[in-house]
Structure 1
Amino acid sequence: MEALNQIPLTIAAAIRGLFTDPQSIWADLTMTIIGLIAVIVIIVLAALVLILVERKIAGWASLRPGPNRLGPRGWFQTIADALKLIGKEDITPAGADRFLFKVAPMIVFALPLMTLAVIPYGKGMAPIDLDLGVIYFLAMSSISTIAFLIAGWASNNKFSLIGGLRAVAQMISYEIPLIFSLLGVVMITQSFNLSNIVESQSYVPFIFLQPLAFVIYVIASIAEVNRAPFDLVEADQEILAGPMTEYTGLRWGLFFLGEYGNMTAVCALATTMFLGGWQGPAFLPGWVWFWLKTGVLIFFMMWVRWTFPRIKIDQLMHFAWKVLLPLSLLNIVLTGLGIYIYQLVIGG
């Protein structure tokens, strides 16, 4: 099993061995590029698989068969949908800001790539190991708010603009309790490095030390990726498809690639911060444990989407500012108090 756990590291060492100096800047640059390509593959494959899985879960939750015609048990349905999107005409509205209209979906798709690049998928398997990994992840993920606003404004459509403004209100509101929920873990570990945070969970995952923070993080992350019951940004009964209303073909598809990429990213961060990352019993490789934990969280998000009805915009904002924010502040206070008592006991 240790051999399976070391497969990615062995491949990386073999590639570095092709250079005269394995620690040279060119070797580091090559490994960074390969890591980013691997992340792109993860995002694309995750989107292709998760779209089909979500349809299966939707069928299961609503007592319908789901995709079951194209290929064995419908497994080729997502491929057919991707080919359909590629073949559709790319339309730009006459009154739209053409540059911003086209660049917005690219930003939405690129952000999961930038965030997943700092996640440690196993021991020594972070594509880019940053000392400020937590801050970098949060900073990059927050830019998606600007991308949705750009898409809504550039479309020259009142429904798209409303969707863009809702994105700003919703995502900024839920970013605050989400960030505060992670502060407890940072206070315990005294580190922003994601690999160090995983190493600190060798004996007990932080979900047991920070259960309230974990619940707050999961709820806020569902709102951050605009999934039901918090999908007010694209509430189709009210504002058609929000910022995506005027988009067609592959550009429309990039928004949903970004959504599934962001869902994978926030679940990967939850696995890293609260569930011990790659830590697990030795009968499976660490990177397998990482993706199993992430997969469970993704399944939970899908289950929530097809179980709860969409809430109203006033309920959405009320829940963020009057429920999650006070609870996240309470968690910080309790964490600080717990650390203080622990230091007194150890010091005594």
Structure 2
Amino acid sequence: MEPSNNTQISRFLLLGISKEAEIQSLIFGLFLSMYLITVFGNLLIILAVSLDSHLHTPMYFFLSNLSFVDICFTSTTIPKMLWNIRTQSQVITYEGCITQMYFYILFAELDDILLTVMAYDRYVAICHPLHYMVIMNLRLCGLLVLISWVLIALYSLLHSLMVLGLSFCPETQISHFFCELSQVVQLASSDNFLNNIVMYFAAVLMGVGPFAGILYSYSKIVSCICKITSAQGKYKAFSTCASHLFVVSLFYFTALGVYLSSAATHTSHSSTVASVMYTVVTPLLNPFIYSLRNKDIKGVLKRFYFMPSLKDQIP
């Protein structure tokens, strides 16, 4: 049988997290709450960093970029899922699916790269504290972020263009709540061998590469901390990277959980449930981790909270 030409398909069907109609309202309320908390929490961090001059440092510059990427990351998938539940529809257009796939890959990989850049920033701060502001100058920080955006945008574009070359049967069903690259590629009715090769090679490159960079940075950090003689000095040095280490662990363990669950069970439903941790829960927890463990962020947020009441008391 001749495979359907990809120009004939106009839409995909997203099956979502569950087919049970009675729990759709619960899923809608839960994910809407998590989405709003994610956006609000990350916006608070961006606002705090932007408005307080004491936070205009490389570490908080990268943190505000990470918060912005997390907002975009969740906004790529959750609003469409909520809209489909609200309208009792499973439809996403072909163009919408490709667009969603592009931005999902873009922001997911940007998360990964920014965490690597932040690990390098912590390495310089702890191992070369006297030269920190010279090495991590404004030009270098801006350049690192710009290069990350350009490279990942091209990387995401490559995958999207390769999917555009595939053919799909009409009314193709995706057992997910968003257009996930590997599932879409496997559902193609045309030859997807080249797509699989590029996809797995890129996954290893973009997964192992940044992770190796993070491990190298932290191996140097641990080595420097061990050379500090005082316990207070060791605690202070470790506390400067504790939040980042927590976020890195959360990011990679949830991503690994998605991969292992799909590889072990070979069922799309288990992969869908596991990916909720990666796509929703991790961006939700990031602002809490950074704000609760960071005295500077907490101090700025408290000042902004009490500032209106103080202004009202001034005659």
- Same fold at TM > 0.5: no
TM-score (normalised: structure 1) = 0.37
**Structure 2-normalised TM-score?**
0.40
Higher helix share: 2
Q: Which has the higher contact order (CA 8 A, sep 6+)?
A: 2
